[in-house]
């Protein structure tokens, strides 16, 4: 693929964005356009700012300066790292994935038949249907990661933001997740995911390298990361 086609609609456009925590800047003037319907991999060292960049794209973290514009119609689905989810949450796998429908229905509303069908499909796609009644906190890290991704898919957003969705998973689970991301793109969903894996990044259409809170410039997948 060629680099950014300016005629392509951006699913997310950041302009000169600064963001951080408690007065400490982590992102320093990030400008980027994520073309709609593509898969973008965010790569960079630990602490470089990938999760922070995803949080800004998801609007769970407000920039201290600069602008974030989204060209998508639905609220983004943001799947955080599994370590960011408490073990103590007293919810089952099914309930966790059902929460993905709240974006559509509002919290604690009765789910419709359609909602339940979406939840079932998402469980099957991530191979977690057998775990439906287990408590989220009792699962292995890899199982939990797949459940969180299923929750993200259940939101049926057109922008899927994923923080290291395949990190620490076995080879089969990693491949399944990469296949799911490709399927989502096939449905027109824009996917942005942080990864430390060159192999995972190579599946992406574009790679954004983050270094010390700045972008090093977009590269087509296949370039060295
Ligand atoms: N909630 C937070 N409060 C305070 N500082 C934070 C918070 N989250 C991240 N940071 C800091 O922001 C910087 C960037 O962290 P971030 O998690 O965005 O990096 P990352 O590239 O995703 O790292 P990793 O690859 O380790 O997940 C780090 O210095 C980190 O300590």
| Burial of 209 from C-beta contacts in 10 A (0-12 / 13-18 / 19+) | buried
Nearest CA to ligand 1 atom 7: 21
| Residues contacting 130, CB < 8 A, separation 6+ | none
Gap from CA of 110 to ligand 1 centroid (Å): 37
**Cα 163 to Cα 35: distance, rounded to the nearest angstrom:** 19
- What does pTM read for this prediction? 0.90
- Per residue of the chain (225 residues), give pLDDT as tens: 444 444 468 999 999 999 999 989 999 999 999 999 999 999 999 999 999 999 999 999 999 999 999 987 789 999 998 776 667 778 999 999 999 998 777 766 788 899 999 999 999 999 999 999 999 989 988 899 999 999 999 999 999 999 999 988 899 889 999 999 999 999 999 999 999 998 899 999 999 999 999 999 655 554 444
Bridge partners of 208, per DSSP, are: 42, 218
The structure tokens 């300016």 sit at 6
- For ligand 1, whether the C-beta of 46 sits within 6 Å is yes
CA angle (195 as vertex; 190, 199 as ends), nearest 5 = 95
**Is any atom of ligand 1 closer than 6 Å to the C-beta of 48?**
yes
Ligand 1 centroid–CA 47 distance in Å is: 5
Q: Classify the phi-psi angles of 16: left when phi > 0, otherwise alpha if psi is within -120 to 50, otherwise beta.
A: left
Q: Which atom of ligand 1 is the closest one to the Cα of 42?
A: 21
Query: Closest Cα partner for 188 from 72, 59, 43?
Result: 72
**Beta strands 39-43; 10-21: pairing state:** unpaired
Does the C-beta of 21 come closer than 6 Å to ligand 1? yes
Q: Is the ipTM of this complex over 0.90?
A: yes
Atom number, ligand 1, closest to the C-alpha of residue 22 = 4
C-alpha 192/C-alpha 77 separation (Å) is: 10
Nearest CA to ligand 1 atom 10: 21
CB 219 within 8 A of CB 34: no
Query: Which position has the token pair 């939101």?
Result: 155
- Ligand 1 pocket check for 195: Cβ under 6 Å: no
């Amino acid at each position: 693929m060629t680099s950014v086609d300016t005629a392509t609609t951006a699913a997310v456009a950041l302009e000169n964005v600064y963001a951080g925590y408690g007065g400490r800047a982590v992102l320093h003037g990030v400008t980027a356009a994520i073309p709609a319907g593509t898969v973008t991999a965010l790569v960079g060292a630990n602490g470089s700012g990938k999760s922070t960049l995803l949080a800004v794209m998801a609007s769970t973290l407000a920039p201290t300066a600069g602008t974030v514009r989204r060209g998508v119609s639905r609220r983004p689905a943001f799947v955080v790292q599994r370590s960011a989810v408490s073990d103590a949450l007293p919810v089952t796998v099914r309930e966790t994935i059902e929460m993905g429908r709240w974006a559509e229905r509002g919290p604690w509303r009765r789910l419709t038949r359609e909602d339940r069908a979406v939840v079932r499909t998402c469980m099957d796609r991530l191979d977690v249907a057998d775990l439906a009644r287990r408590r989220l906190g009792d699962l292995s890290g890899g199982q939990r990661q797949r459940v969180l991704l299923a929750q993200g898919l259940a939101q049926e957003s057109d922008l899927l933001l994923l923080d290291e969705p395949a990190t620490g998973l076995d080879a089969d689970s990693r491949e399944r997740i990469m296949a799911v991301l490709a399927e989502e793109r096939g449905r027109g969903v824009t996917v942005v995911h942080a990864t430390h894996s060159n192999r995972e990044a190579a599946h992406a259409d574009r790679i954004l390298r983050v270094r010390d809170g700045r972008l090093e410039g977009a590269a087509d997948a296949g370039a060295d990361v």
